[in-house]
Structure 1
Amino acid sequence: MNAPAIRTLLIDDEVLARLAIRQALASHADVEIVGECGNAIEAQQAIRALEPDLLFLDIRMPGMDGFKLLHSLKPDTLPMVVFATAFGQHALRAFDANALDYVLKPIDQERFDQAMVRVRQHWRGLQAVPRVAAPAPVANPYLQRLSVQQGEHIRVIPVADIDWFRADGNYVHIRVGAASYLHRESLRHLLGTLDPTRFLRIHRGIVVNVERIREVHPLFQGNAEVVLQDGTRLNLSRRFRAQARGVLGMA
């Protein structure tokens, strides 16, 4: 008996990106595209209504990103997932979210076909074992590791090891002990991926790991100074003082 078609949903805010995936899937006769969505809210509704077997999912979308979309789904109804994105630095986090594969835009057909091999291998396993026997684990919605370019190499940094971040235009400087790394991502976007119970924004351009904070020194006009375990001193602006009180248990 032939295996059932892999019912597939495309989720990307760019029409041309969805078209590129359609074209890449054209040579895969066992795939049935059941719908397209331009954002995560549409995708939530489509997943409930269509119950697809496979998602091709973008990461950066207006509003809710691809990782938060997955976290919003019930683990026992989570489809197979292949991320399709222009940003290679999220690859490790994608696999943490139980994605089968991660393909970069613009789509390379050979690399895409390799991803489909993984999809079919997993699909055959699902057909052999009832889904209820092995529910997918809940995906962690927050960043666990960060990849930064160092010359010809990529350095993987556990997020828990990071002391603080400082904005620099569309980049951030990452401080880990005495080391500093430059990462190509805006602080605004990065902040949305960090656990708010672990990382605190204390200034328009500074986010600090709360586990590294040793002392807070009040200054004039509602401002303050944060002192880290290694003696680093950072400004806590009045704008973020109320949030700091809640996170740090300040009076």
Structure 2
Amino acid sequence: MSRLRTLIVDDEPLALKLLRAKLDKVDNIEIVGESKNGREAIAATLELAPDIIFLDIQMPGLNGFDVVKGLQSDILPLIVFTTAYEQYALDAFDVHAVDYILKPIDDERICRAVQRAQKRLDAVDGQDNKPRILGAIDSMSQRIYPQQLENKRLPGALSTDTFMDKKVVIKDRDEITILKQSEIEWVDAAGDYVCLHAEGKTHIKRSTLKELLTELDENIFKRVHRSTIVNLNFIDKVIPHTKGEFFLLLGEFEKIKVSRNYKDAIKDFLLGE
């Protein structure tokens, strides 16, 4: 059995030290990196390609949920949350088969989480991890914010159909956000959800990628991976990767992997045509 390449993430140095000490005792774990915040975690995931991330939820800046939402579904490792979250959140994660360890961390929960992760990898369903997590987050939101949104609309706002060709409407808890398409940098699909990344924030919309594509301007939004599309106007740099793949840099922090199967989709853009 191969060892699980593992990244551990926590903003507290003592928590990182404790987690490393406990994971060092697990035979099939190989710790390949540590991160102290969400941005470091995203960068380390892209660089190290771990099999599993032990990820703290409560961190300043980008929290654990933001890290998950900020990574492409196709390259997202298995996630084990380390958290002091309330019981309702843990119930939601259990329903959606998302692993977690309740702080203070103990050896039994570590072993359980590793065993569940190994089983999921053996079943070759790790790629379904992000939809599960987004589903859990959505369930938590519904429990915390039970308001019904069907009849809600921003004061003076036009209908969704009116904005179909220029804007994207997102219902989130008890708010409605209207995003300009020109502000959307990239979109990541995860099952029945899409993550729209705009101006440093990630918005979750209950929609399939196919449905969303009917709203987006096909001249500036191009698919670059199985479940990822980018706004060509935000590409700042192209970095070659392996086997015909490469990364797109969008601004200072966003790094999007382009698979060789989709590189022709932006070939004209890269050639300046």
- TM-score category of the 2 structures, normalised to the smaller one: 0.5 to 0.7
For normalisation by structure 2, the TM-score amounts to 0.49
| Paired residue secondary structure (1:61) | coil
Query: In structure 1, which of residues 150, 161, 172 is the aligned counterpart of residue 146 of structure 2?
Result: 161
Match of 2:104 in 1: 106
Q: Which amino acid aligns with 1:6?
A: L
Structure 1 residues 1-251: aligned runs within 5 Å: 3-89=1-87, 90-94=89-93, 100-126=98-124, 136-138=129-131, 139-140=133-134, 143-146=137-140, 158-159=143-144, 161-162=146-147, 197-199=171-173, 209=174
Distance 1:32 1:73 in 2: 22
| Paired residue secondary structure (1:161) | coil
| Paired residue secondary structure (1:115) | helix
Shift of 1:23: 1.6
Shift of 1:27: 2.0
Distance 2:42 2:61 in 1: 13
Bigger Rg over Cα: 1
Instruction: Mark the runs of 5 or more structure 1 residues left unpaired by the alignment.
Output: 148-156, 164-194, 200-208, 212-251
For residues 1-32 of structure 1, what are the alpha-carbon distances to aligned partners after superposition, in whole Å with 9 as ceiling and x for unaligned? xx222000001101111111112112212111
Q: Check 1:73–1:12 CA distance in 2 against 1; reply closer, same or farther (3 A cut).
A: same
| Paired residue secondary structure (2:43) | helix
| Paired residue secondary structure (1:52) | coil
Distance 1:24 1:86 in 2: 18
Number of residue pairs matched by the alignment: 155
Distance 2:67 2:27 in 1: 28
Q: Check 1:68–1:141 CA distance in 2 against 1; reply closer, same or farther (3 A cut).
A: farther
Q: Which amino acid aligns with 1:75?
A: S
| Paired residue secondary structure (1:63) | coil
Question: In percent, how many aligned pairs have the same letter?
Answer: 34
Following TM superposition, the consecutive aligned residue runs of length 4 or more in structure 1 with deviations greater than 6 angstroms are: none
For residues 47-72 of structure 1, what are the alpha-carbon distances to aligned partners after superposition, in whole Å with 9 as ceiling and x for unaligned? 00000000000001010111111011
For residues 187-245 of structure 1, what are the alpha-carbon distances to aligned partners after superposition, in whole Å with 9 as ceiling and x for unaligned? xxxxxxxx98445xxxxxxxxx369xxxxxxxxxxxxxxxxxxxxxxxxxxxxxxxxxx
For residues 139-182 of structure 1, what are the alpha-carbon distances to aligned partners after superposition, in whole Å with 9 as ceiling and x for unaligned? 539943349xxxxxxxxx6356237xxxxxxxxxxxxxxxxxxx
Q: Which amino acid aligns with 2:65?
A: F
Match of 2:256 in 1: none
Whether contact under 8 Å (2:92, 2:139) holds in the other structure is: yes
| Paired residue secondary structure (2:25) | coil
Distance 1:143 1:93 in 2: 8
